[in-house]
Copies of this chain bind each other. A is one copy, B any other.
Amino acid sequence: MNEAELRELIDGLRAGRVTPDDAVAVLRRLPFAEVGDALVDHHRHLRQGMPEAIFGRGKSPEQCVRIVSELLAHGTGPVLLTRADDDQRKATLAVHPDAVQRAGCLLWRAPATSAEPRVLVVSAGTSDAPVVDECVLTLAAYGFAADRLVDVGVAGIHRLLAHLDRITSADAIVVVAGMEGALASVVGGLTAAPVVAVPTSVGYGSALDGVTALLAMHASCASGITVVGIDNGFGAACAIARIMR
């Protein structure tokens, strides 16, 4: 509630257009409702067609079904279920079959997507595919039709450079890489666009389940790269959405 609205309420109150009870009701909701309203307004603006997301891991199939059902019933925007195992996937699809699927992610009411702005998701190896999938489907839930460029690890730098155009023309890039995570540094040096790096838990023993890639991405010699958590393709997509909106 901004000052103009507030003054209008007061004027209405003095003019009798607003009853004291109504004013109390409105103002009573201010303290945090104000916070909430600001956010809700803000959110309302944001949420037209915006996804609701459920993190599947640790929930029972029944819980997943219930939450998905509620979100589909009470909203009109996309609904995204991530990190779903087979049981969760089957249970929710049995009730709500119209989902787009990628790896362990399901998306209901997928919005129309646009190839503009150009979002590129680059990954180092085929084993990173589930994280790429989670990222791409989450981007789809936000309405972005991402371009995928996979299997371009830095040990074969010419494979990456062969696609230089796609890299330099992208408006934002998500780099998904496990092992030593070096791809983020190389890509970061090839573009001036925003780069969000996702370390993955892919790799042999010394990869330490993604910690090595996470640290390496943070220690990157390419300035201005930002990093999200290990295997967090969902988070990277959300970061892109924050940037691109």
Q: Which residues of A contact B (CB under 8 A)?
A: 1-3, 6-7, 10-11, 13-14, 20, 23-24, 27-28, 30-39, 42-43, 46, 53, 55, 58-59, 124-127, 153-158, 161-162, 164, 168, 178-182, 185-186, 188-190, 192-196, 199, 201-232, 234-235, 237-239, 241-243, 245
CB distance from A203 to the nearest CB of B (A): 5
Q: Choose one: B155, B164, B207; the contact of A38 (CB below 8 Å).
A: B164
Distance between Cα atoms of A219 and B200 in the complex (Å): 12
- A228–B229 CB distance below 8 A: no
- B27–A179 CB distance below 8 A: no
Q: Chain B residues near A232: list those with CB within 8 A.
A: 204-206, 218
Question: Given contacts A11-B20, A32-B162, is CB(A186)–CB(B157) below 8 Å?
Answer: yes
- A227–B227 CB distance below 8 A: yes
CB distance from A21 to the nearest CB of B (A): 9
Distance between Cα atoms of A11 and B23 in the complex (Å): 10
Q: Chain B residues near A37: list those with CB within 8 A.
A: 2-3
Nearest to A39 among chain B residues (CB) is B158
CB distance from A182 to the nearest CB of B (A): 3
Nearest to A209 among chain B residues (CB) is B205
- B223–A238 CB distance below 8 A: yes
Q: Choose one: B161, B182, B196; the contact of A35 (CB below 8 Å).
A: B161
Q: Choose one: B1, B43, B180; the contact of A216 (CB below 8 Å).
A: B180
Q: Choose one: B1, B14, B58, B220; the contact of A33 (CB below 8 Å).
A: B1
Distance between Cα atoms of A200 and B53 in the complex (Å): 22
- B164–A242 CB distance below 8 A: no
CB distance from A55 to the nearest CB of B (A): 8
Q: Choose one: B33, B192, B193, B203; the contact of A219 (CB below 8 Å).
A: B203
Q: Chain B residues near A168: list those with CB within 8 A.
A: 38-39, 42
Question: Given contacts A24-B6, A204-B219, A238-B223, is CB(A155)–CB(B186) below 8 Å?
Answer: yes
Question: Given contacts A225-B235, A228-B226, is CB(A24)–CB(B3) below 8 Å?
Answer: yes
Distance between Cα atoms of A14 and B9 in the complex (Å): 12
Question: Given contacts A24-B10, A30-B31, A162-B32, is CB(A190)–CB(B231) below 8 Å?
Answer: no
The 7 A-B residue pairs with the shortest CB-CB distance in the complex, in nearest-first order: A32-B32, A205-B230, A224-B238, A182-B182, A226-B226, A155-B189, A206-B218
